[in-house]
Protein backbone atom coordinates (compact mmCIF):
# COMPACT_ATOMS: atom_id res chain seq x y z
CA UNK A 1 0.00 0.00 0.00
CA UNK A 2 1.50 3.35 -1.04
CA UNK A 3 2.06 5.95 1.67
CA UNK A 4 0.46 9.35 1.36
CA UNK A 5 2.68 12.42 1.25
CA UNK A 6 3.03 15.95 2.54
CA UNK A 7 0.64 18.47 0.92
CA UNK A 8 1.71 19.57 -2.55
CA UNK A 9 3.09 23.14 -2.45
CA UNK A 10 3.05 25.64 -5.31
CA UNK A 11 6.02 27.76 -4.33
CA UNK A 12 7.63 28.64 -7.67
CA UNK A 13 5.65 29.88 -10.68
CA UNK A 14 8.48 29.36 -13.17
CA UNK A 15 9.18 25.72 -12.30
CA UNK A 16 5.42 25.12 -12.19
CA UNK A 17 5.28 26.45 -15.73
CA UNK A 18 7.83 23.95 -17.00
CA UNK A 19 6.38 21.06 -15.01
CA UNK A 20 2.64 21.68 -15.46
CA UNK A 21 2.08 24.99 -17.28
CA UNK A 22 2.97 23.43 -20.63
CA UNK A 23 0.47 20.61 -20.02
CA UNK A 24 -2.04 23.12 -18.74
CA UNK A 25 -1.94 25.14 -21.95
CA UNK A 26 -2.29 22.00 -24.11
CA UNK A 27 -5.32 20.66 -22.23
CA UNK A 28 -6.61 24.15 -21.45
CA UNK A 29 -6.86 24.96 -25.15
CA UNK A 30 -9.12 21.92 -25.67
CA UNK A 31 -11.15 22.94 -22.62
CA UNK A 32 -11.57 26.54 -23.78
CA UNK A 33 -12.57 25.48 -27.30
CA UNK A 34 -15.13 23.12 -25.78
CA UNK A 35 -16.66 25.79 -23.52
CA UNK A 36 -16.90 27.95 -26.66
CA UNK A 37 -17.56 31.17 -24.71
CA UNK A 38 -19.00 34.32 -26.23
CA UNK A 39 -16.62 37.27 -26.40
CA UNK A 40 -17.10 40.23 -24.05
CA UNK A 41 -17.84 38.21 -20.89
CA UNK A 42 -16.86 38.65 -17.21
CA UNK A 43 -14.53 35.76 -16.28
CA UNK A 44 -13.40 34.29 -12.98
CA UNK A 45 -10.44 31.86 -13.12
CA UNK A 46 -10.54 29.91 -9.84
CA UNK A 47 -7.12 28.55 -8.81
CA UNK A 48 -5.51 30.49 -11.65
CA UNK A 49 -2.03 29.50 -10.44
CA UNK A 50 0.71 31.08 -12.51
CA UNK A 51 -1.80 32.24 -15.13
CA UNK A 52 -1.36 29.47 -17.71
CA UNK A 53 -5.09 29.21 -18.45
CA UNK A 54 -5.77 32.88 -17.66
CA UNK A 55 -3.47 33.67 -20.55
CA UNK A 56 -5.60 31.62 -22.96
CA UNK A 57 -8.73 33.49 -21.83
CA UNK A 58 -7.00 36.86 -22.23
CA UNK A 59 -5.64 36.00 -25.68
CA UNK A 60 -8.69 34.33 -27.17
CA UNK A 61 -11.91 35.33 -25.40
CA UNK A 62 -11.79 39.11 -25.36
CA UNK A 63 -13.07 39.34 -21.76
CA UNK A 64 -14.57 42.61 -20.46
CA UNK A 65 -13.38 41.61 -16.99
CA UNK A 66 -10.94 38.89 -15.96
CA UNK A 67 -10.19 37.98 -12.35
CA UNK A 68 -7.89 35.18 -11.16
CA UNK A 69 -7.83 33.87 -7.61
CA UNK A 70 -5.30 31.52 -6.02
CA UNK A 71 -4.02 30.96 -2.46
CA UNK A 72 -0.36 30.82 -3.60
CA UNK A 73 1.44 34.18 -3.59
CA UNK A 74 4.32 32.66 -5.59
CA UNK A 75 1.99 31.57 -8.39
CA UNK A 76 0.20 34.93 -8.40
CA UNK A 77 3.49 36.85 -8.48
CA UNK A 78 4.54 34.94 -11.62
CA UNK A 79 1.13 35.52 -13.26
CA UNK A 80 1.22 39.24 -12.47
CA UNK A 81 4.47 39.68 -14.40
CA UNK A 82 3.09 38.27 -17.64
CA UNK A 83 2.81 41.05 -20.27
CA UNK A 84 -0.56 39.77 -21.49
CA UNK A 85 -2.02 39.68 -17.99
CA UNK A 86 -1.41 43.28 -16.94
CA UNK A 87 -5.12 44.14 -16.91
CA UNK A 88 -6.11 41.00 -14.99
CA UNK A 89 -7.11 41.41 -11.34
CA UNK A 90 -5.32 38.76 -9.27
CA UNK A 91 -6.56 38.08 -5.75
CA UNK A 92 -5.16 35.78 -3.07
CA UNK A 93 -8.25 33.76 -2.12
CA UNK A 94 -9.60 30.26 -1.61
CA UNK A 95 -12.08 28.59 -3.95
CA UNK A 96 -14.25 27.68 -0.96
CA UNK A 97 -14.79 31.33 0.05
CA UNK A 98 -14.79 33.55 -3.03
CA UNK A 99 -14.57 37.25 -2.06
CA UNK A 100 -17.08 38.39 -4.68
CA UNK A 101 -20.72 39.43 -4.78
CA UNK A 102 -23.42 37.12 -6.13
CA UNK A 103 -23.79 37.13 -9.93
CA UNK A 104 -20.60 39.17 -10.43
CA UNK A 105 -19.38 37.01 -13.36
CA UNK A 106 -20.67 35.36 -16.55
CA UNK A 107 -18.28 32.40 -16.34
CA UNK A 108 -16.31 30.74 -13.56
CA UNK A 109 -13.72 28.13 -14.52
CA UNK A 110 -11.57 25.83 -12.45
CA UNK A 111 -8.79 24.33 -14.58
CA UNK A 112 -6.77 21.57 -12.85
CA UNK A 113 -7.83 22.70 -9.38
CA UNK A 114 -10.83 20.79 -8.05
CA UNK A 115 -8.73 17.94 -6.61
CA UNK A 116 -6.70 20.47 -4.59
CA UNK A 117 -9.78 21.78 -2.83
CA UNK A 118 -10.52 20.04 0.49
CA UNK A 119 -14.28 20.48 0.01
CA UNK A 120 -15.02 20.49 -3.73
CA UNK A 121 -18.81 20.84 -3.21
CA UNK A 122 -18.27 24.09 -1.33
CA UNK A 123 -16.09 25.42 -4.18
CA UNK A 124 -18.68 24.51 -6.82
CA UNK A 125 -21.43 26.16 -4.73
CA UNK A 126 -19.29 29.29 -4.53
CA UNK A 127 -18.78 29.36 -8.30
CA UNK A 128 -22.55 29.02 -8.79
CA UNK A 129 -23.16 31.88 -6.35
CA UNK A 130 -20.84 34.33 -8.12
CA UNK A 131 -22.03 33.53 -11.66
CA UNK A 132 -25.15 35.21 -13.02
CA UNK A 133 -28.14 33.11 -14.16
CA UNK A 134 -27.51 31.79 -17.66
CA UNK A 135 -23.74 31.87 -17.06
CA UNK A 136 -21.30 28.94 -17.16
CA UNK A 137 -19.51 27.02 -14.42
CA UNK A 138 -16.85 24.69 -15.82
CA UNK A 139 -13.86 22.67 -14.68
CA UNK A 140 -11.42 20.07 -15.86
CA UNK A 141 -9.09 17.80 -13.90
CA UNK A 142 -6.57 15.07 -14.66
CA UNK A 143 -8.16 11.66 -14.22
CA UNK A 144 -6.01 10.97 -11.16
CA UNK A 145 -7.63 7.70 -10.18
CA UNK A 146 -7.76 6.36 -13.73
CA UNK A 147 -4.06 6.94 -14.52
CA UNK A 148 -4.59 10.17 -16.49
CA UNK A 149 -2.02 12.28 -14.59
CA UNK A 150 0.77 13.04 -17.08
CA UNK A 151 3.43 12.18 -14.45
CA UNK A 152 1.82 8.88 -13.49
CA UNK A 153 5.07 7.07 -14.43
CA UNK A 154 6.94 9.16 -11.86
CA UNK A 155 4.38 8.40 -9.17
CA UNK A 156 4.49 4.69 -10.05
CA UNK A 157 8.27 4.74 -9.67
CA UNK A 158 7.99 6.48 -6.30
CA UNK A 159 5.59 3.73 -5.22
CA UNK A 160 7.99 1.07 -6.51
CA UNK A 161 10.77 2.37 -4.24
CA UNK A 162 8.41 2.59 -1.26
CA UNK A 163 8.15 6.37 -1.24
CA UNK A 164 5.01 8.40 -0.55
CA UNK A 165 3.14 9.36 -3.70
CA UNK A 166 2.22 13.05 -3.75
CA UNK A 167 -1.56 13.37 -3.86
CA UNK A 168 -3.89 16.37 -3.53
CA UNK A 169 -6.60 16.23 -0.85
CA UNK A 170 -9.57 15.33 -3.10
CA UNK A 171 -8.36 13.02 -5.91
CA UNK A 172 -11.77 11.28 -6.12
CA UNK A 173 -13.34 14.53 -7.36
CA UNK A 174 -11.60 14.04 -10.73
CA UNK A 175 -13.78 11.03 -11.59
CA UNK A 176 -16.34 11.86 -14.26
CA UNK A 177 -19.23 10.55 -12.14
CA UNK A 178 -17.99 12.58 -9.14
CA UNK A 179 -17.81 15.76 -11.21
CA UNK A 180 -21.28 15.13 -12.58
CA UNK A 181 -22.67 14.61 -9.08
CA UNK A 182 -21.02 17.84 -7.88
CA UNK A 183 -22.54 19.81 -10.75
CA UNK A 184 -26.00 18.27 -10.28
CA UNK A 185 -25.92 18.82 -6.51
CA UNK A 186 -24.95 22.47 -7.03
CA UNK A 187 -28.14 22.91 -9.07
CA UNK A 188 -26.48 23.50 -12.44
CA UNK A 189 -28.44 22.73 -15.59
CA UNK A 190 -27.53 21.74 -19.15
CA UNK A 191 -24.55 19.69 -17.92
CA UNK A 192 -22.05 18.29 -20.41
CA UNK A 193 -18.88 16.28 -19.88
CA UNK A 194 -16.00 15.13 -22.03
CA UNK A 195 -12.60 13.49 -21.89
CA UNK A 196 -9.58 15.55 -22.96
CA UNK A 197 -6.43 13.72 -24.04
CA UNK A 198 -3.20 15.55 -24.83
CA UNK A 199 0.43 14.62 -25.54
CA UNK A 200 3.68 16.37 -24.71
CA UNK A 201 7.18 15.52 -25.92
CA UNK A 202 10.32 16.06 -23.79
CA UNK A 203 13.54 16.46 -25.81
CA UNK A 204 15.31 13.69 -23.91
CA UNK A 205 15.41 12.05 -20.50
CA UNK A 206 17.47 14.90 -19.00
CA UNK A 207 14.83 17.40 -20.10
CA UNK A 208 12.15 15.25 -18.45
CA UNK A 209 14.21 14.72 -15.29
CA UNK A 210 15.02 18.41 -14.84
CA UNK A 211 11.34 19.24 -15.35
CA UNK A 212 10.23 16.73 -12.73
CA UNK A 213 12.91 17.64 -10.18
CA UNK A 214 12.09 21.33 -10.32
CA UNK A 215 8.33 20.98 -10.11
CA UNK A 216 5.91 20.55 -7.23
CA UNK A 217 4.56 17.05 -6.56
CA UNK A 218 7.34 14.49 -7.21
CA UNK A 219 9.95 17.27 -7.02
CA UNK A 220 9.07 17.68 -3.34
CA UNK A 221 9.45 13.93 -2.73
CA UNK A 222 12.84 13.89 -4.46
CA UNK A 223 14.06 16.93 -2.50
CA UNK A 224 13.98 14.98 0.77
CA UNK A 225 15.68 11.85 -0.59
CA UNK A 226 19.40 11.14 -0.14
CA UNK A 227 21.73 11.40 -3.15
CA UNK A 228 22.05 7.64 -3.61
CA UNK A 229 18.30 7.12 -3.45
CA UNK A 230 17.77 9.88 -5.99
CA UNK A 231 20.31 8.27 -8.38
CA UNK A 232 18.63 4.89 -8.02
CA UNK A 233 15.22 6.45 -8.56
CA UNK A 234 16.48 8.29 -11.64
CA UNK A 235 17.76 5.09 -13.25
CA UNK A 236 14.54 3.20 -12.45
CA UNK A 237 12.52 6.02 -14.00
CA UNK A 238 14.74 6.09 -17.07
CA UNK A 239 14.36 2.33 -17.51
CA UNK A 240 10.59 2.68 -17.20
CA UNK A 241 10.38 5.49 -19.77
CA UNK A 242 13.21 4.64 -22.15
CA UNK A 243 13.84 0.90 -22.06
CA UNK A 244 15.51 1.23 -25.48
CA UNK A 245 17.95 4.03 -24.54
CA UNK A 246 18.08 7.71 -25.43
CA UNK A 247 15.73 9.86 -27.50
CA UNK A 248 12.71 12.03 -26.94
CA UNK A 249 9.95 11.03 -24.54
CA UNK A 250 6.30 11.50 -25.42
CA UNK A 251 3.73 11.21 -22.66
CA UNK A 252 -0.04 11.51 -22.58
CA UNK A 253 -2.38 13.15 -20.09
CA UNK A 254 -6.09 12.42 -19.83
CA UNK A 255 -8.50 14.78 -18.12
CA UNK A 256 -12.21 14.96 -17.37
CA UNK A 257 -14.07 18.16 -18.17
CA UNK A 258 -17.49 19.37 -17.14
CA UNK A 259 -19.60 22.42 -17.80
CA UNK A 260 -23.07 23.52 -16.71
CA UNK A 261 -25.35 26.54 -16.77
CA UNK A 262 -26.49 28.53 -13.74
CA UNK A 263 -30.29 28.40 -13.51
CA UNK A 264 -32.47 31.46 -12.88
CA UNK A 265 -33.03 32.28 -9.18
Ligand X SMILES: C[S@@+](CC[C@H](N)C(=O)[O-])C[C@H]1O[C@@H](n2cnc3c(N)ncnc32)[C@H](O)[C@@H]1O
Residues contributing to the site for ligand X (CB under 6 A) = 10, 20-21, 24, 28, 46-49, 52-53, 70-72, 75, 94-96, 111-113, 116-117
Please say which residue, 217 or 238, places its beta carbon nearer to ligand X: 217
How far apart are CB 157 and ligand X at their closest, in Å? 20
Please say which residue, 113 or 212, places its beta carbon nearer to ligand X: 113
How far apart are CB 122 and ligand X at their closest, in Å? 9
How far apart are CB 213 and ligand X at their closest, in Å? 17
How far apart are CB 145 and ligand X at their closest, in Å? 16
CA distance 201 to 187: 40
How far apart are CB 238 and ligand X at their closest, in Å? 25
Please say which residue, 31 or 202, places its beta carbon nearer to ligand X: 31
Please say which residue, 109 or 237, places its beta carbon nearer to ligand X: 109
**Which residue number is nearest to ligand X in terms of Cβ?**
49
Please say which residue, 94 or 207, places its beta carbon nearer to ligand X: 94
Please say which residue, 110 or 158, places its beta carbon nearer to ligand X: 110
How far apart are CB 37 and ligand X at their closest, in Å? 16
Amino acid sequence: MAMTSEPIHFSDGASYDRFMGVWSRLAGQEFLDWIAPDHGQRWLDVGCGNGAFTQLIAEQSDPVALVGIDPSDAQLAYAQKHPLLQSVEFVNADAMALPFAAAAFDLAVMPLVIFFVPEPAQAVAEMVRVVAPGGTVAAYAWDLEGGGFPYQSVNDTLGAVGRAIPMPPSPESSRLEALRELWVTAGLGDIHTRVITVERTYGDFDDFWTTVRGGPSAGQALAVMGEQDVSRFRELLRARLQPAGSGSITLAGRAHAIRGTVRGR
